[in-house]
Structure formats: structure tokens, C-alpha cells
Structure 1
């Protein structure tokens, strides 16, 4: 199966298949999706973290409309920090990703009217193949000590920093262990903690982008609430 953008993976995990409603933190998902687009661009060598800023190092489009629009913006705009790019990119990004998934038949746009005037949109899943593949990759990463590929390690990191563990739909007794494993994957990839980027399981240039975006998300969301 052809992989889909990381932002779409996060969104499919966050939305309930049946009800079509988003779960978890809205701001966390929006920041995570903005970071995901930048991570996808870093994975194909289009953006890099240079002297405190995220910059376009190759403006060549990659063939994805949303990512290419972001790449053009990064290439044309003045340099910004990872935190600044997250705030600039997160607005309306979710809407664009939802529209793209609807157009491809992955999810359905159910427009309902409440109290006669309020329109509420739900997005139940119609093609479960993509989400099944995503959850399969994550399940394998969570239950084994094997090294993840770059994309799965990046996805695990984004799930951790955006506090989207509930989207994994695990029994309550397994959530804490899953969180610890996600953090272990992030640290092993050089995406968090004090890991040496030269020892990362992924390319140092990619690790640097993910690490700085992860820190920016954590700062934006603030300290987690006590359980």
C-alpha cells in the first residue's frame, strides 16, 4: 500500500471511525499535523533546521498539494523558528486535510443540522485500509523492541508530544506502558532527550527537524495536567 502523508495519519488516528468525531486535544492535533507536514518535507530533503530556523533547502515540489504549498511558503517567506512555523501553518490545515481525504473516499463528510440552524460535520471512515496499516505499524512498534523506520518513529514522537495516546484505543492498564514506549522510540531516534544525533536510528538532519518541532509543540501545550 502506498504511504499517505503523516498529517493524514495523525488525523485518521484522532477521528473515531464510526462517529466521525475528533478525540483528544484540538490544539494538540492541529500543531501535530502542522509539524507532520514539515517532517514529511524533511524526510525527502526539502527542509532542514539551520541556525535556529527551519529553511527550505530544495524547493522542488514532491507531488502532494498540501506539502508543496507549505514548501513554497517556507521557500518564499523569511526564515522562522519551528515554533513560529507551527503557528503559521496550523490554521485551516485540518480542513484542507479533511477535504482531501473526503475527495479520495477515505472518509465521508456527514453534514448534520442541529437545532435547525447549526451545521455540524462528522467524518466517519469509509475506507479502513489506510488506518489499519497505520495502527498495525504502531502496534508492532509498541510491543517489540525492534528499531522503527523513520516515518513510524516520527509518528510515534508526534503522538507522544501531542498527548494523543488515547487515539491508540488501548486498555487503561496499557496506556502508561505505551506512553513510555513512545518516549523510548522518540529518544532512540534522537527526537527527544539527550540522545546524540550522530547515534540516531534516523538521519541526523531529519532527527534535528523532528526534535525541534517536538520541543516547540511541548512548549506550546504547556505542562500536562496531573492524572
Structure 2
């Protein structure tokens, strides 16, 4: 199956298939999706972390509408820090991703009216194949002792940073173990910021981008007990 943008992967994991409603921290999901767009650009060799800023090193489109729009705008703008980018991108990003998923038939837009005039939108799954593939990749990464691929490691790191472990649909005990494994994957990939990038399983340029975005997400969310 053709891979989909990381932002879409996070959203599909976070939304309940039947109710079509988001689960977990909405702020965490929005920040994670913002980071995911930038990570996709880093994976494609378009963005790099240089002297405290995320900078465009190649403005060639990658073929994903949302990422390409960000790329074009960023190429004309001054560089911003990872934290600044997260805040700049998160507004309306979820709506745009949902619109794309609806247009492709992955989810459907159910418009309901409450109290006679309030419109509430739900997005139940219509094509479960995409989410099934994502969950399969993550299940293999969580249960394997070896290293996973660059993209899956990035997804695991974003899940950990945004505290989206509940989206994995695990028991409390299993979720705790999953968190530990997600942290191991992040560290092994050099995404935690604590590893020597020479020992990273991914490209150092990508590791720097993911590590700095992960830290920016954690700083934005603050203490887990207060979120």
C-alpha cells in the first residue's frame, strides 16, 4: 500500500473508527500533526535543522498538497525555530487533513445538528485498510527487538512526544510497556536527542529535525499531570 503523510497517520490513530471523534489530547494531536508535516519534509530532504532553526534546503515539491504548501511558504519566509513552526502550522491543519481524507474516501464527514442549530462533524472510518497498515507497522515495531525503518521510528517518536499511547488501544499495563518501547525506538533512532547521531539508525539530518520537534512538543504540552 502507498504510504500516506505522517500527519494523516497520526490523525487516523487518534480518531475512533466508529464514533468518528478524536480521542486523547486535542492539543497534543494538533502539535504532533504539525511536527509530522515537517518530518515528512525532512524525510524527503527538504528541511534541515541548522543553528537553532528549521531551514529549507530544497524547495522542490514532494507531491503532497499540505506539505508542498508549507514548503512553498517557508521558502519565501525567514527561518523559524521548531517551536515557532509548531504553533504556525497547527491552526486549521486538522481540518485540511480531514478534508483530504474525506476526498479520498478514507473517512466520511457526518454532519449532525445538535440543539437545533449547532453543527457537529464526525469522521468515522470508511476504508480501514490505511489504519490497519499503520497499526500493523507499529505492532511489529513494538514487539520486535530489532530496529524499525526511519519513517516508523519517526511515527513512534511523535506518538511518545504527544502522549498518544492510548490511541494504540492497549491495556494500562501494555500501554506502560509500549511507552518504554517507544522511548527505546526514539533513542535508537537518535530522535531523543540523547544519542550519538553517528550511531543513529537514520540519517543525522532527519534525526536532528525529529529530536528538536519532539522536544518542542513536550515543552508546549508541559507537565503531563497538568494537561
TM-score w.r.t. length of structure 1: 0.98
| 1:155 matched to 2:155 | yes
Give distance in 2, aligned partners of 1:88 and 1:172. Answer: 34
**SS state at 2:225 partner:** coil
Give distance in 2, aligned partners of 1:5 and 1:213. Answer: 17
Give distance in 2, aligned partners of 1:102 and 1:146. Answer: 36
**SS state at 2:111 partner:** strand
Give distance in 1, aligned partners of 2:69 and 2:91. Answer: 14
CA distances 1:170-225 after superposition (whole Å, capped 9, x unpaired): 12221100000000000111111521011101000000000000000000000111
Contact 2:193 2:208 (8 Å CA) reproduced:
no
Contact 2:193 2:212 (8 Å CA) reproduced:
no
Greater Cα offset, 106-115 or 73-82: 73-82
| 1:16 matched to 2:34 | no
2:78 aligns with 78
**SS state at 1:225 partner:** helix
Give the drift of 1:65. Answer: 0.6
Give distance in 2, aligned partners of 1:101 and 1:146. Answer: 32
**SS state at 2:208 partner:** helix
| 1:134 matched to 2:134 | yes
TM-score w.r.t. length of structure 2: 0.98
1:222 aligns with 222
1:47 aligns with 47
Give distance in 1, aligned partners of 2:46 and 2:84. Answer: 18
Give distance in 1, aligned partners of 2:42 and 2:9. Answer: 17
Give distance in 1, aligned partners of 2:55 and 2:189. Answer: 22
1:122 aligns with 122
Contact 2:191 2:211 (8 Å CA) reproduced:
yes
For 1:68-217, what aligned pairs fall within 5 Å after superposition?
68-217=68-217
Could you say what the CA RMSD is over the residues aligned between the two structures, in angstroms?
0.8
Give distance in 2, aligned partners of 1:126 and 1:194. Answer: 41
Give the drift of 1:91. Answer: 0.4
**SS state at 2:141 partner:** helix
Q: Which runs of 5+ in 2 are unaligned?
A: none
Give distance in 2, aligned partners of 1:7 and 1:150. Answer: 15
Give distance in 2, aligned partners of 1:124 and 1:146. Answer: 34
Give distance in 2, aligned partners of 1:64 and 1:19. Answer: 28
**SS state at 1:163 partner:** coil
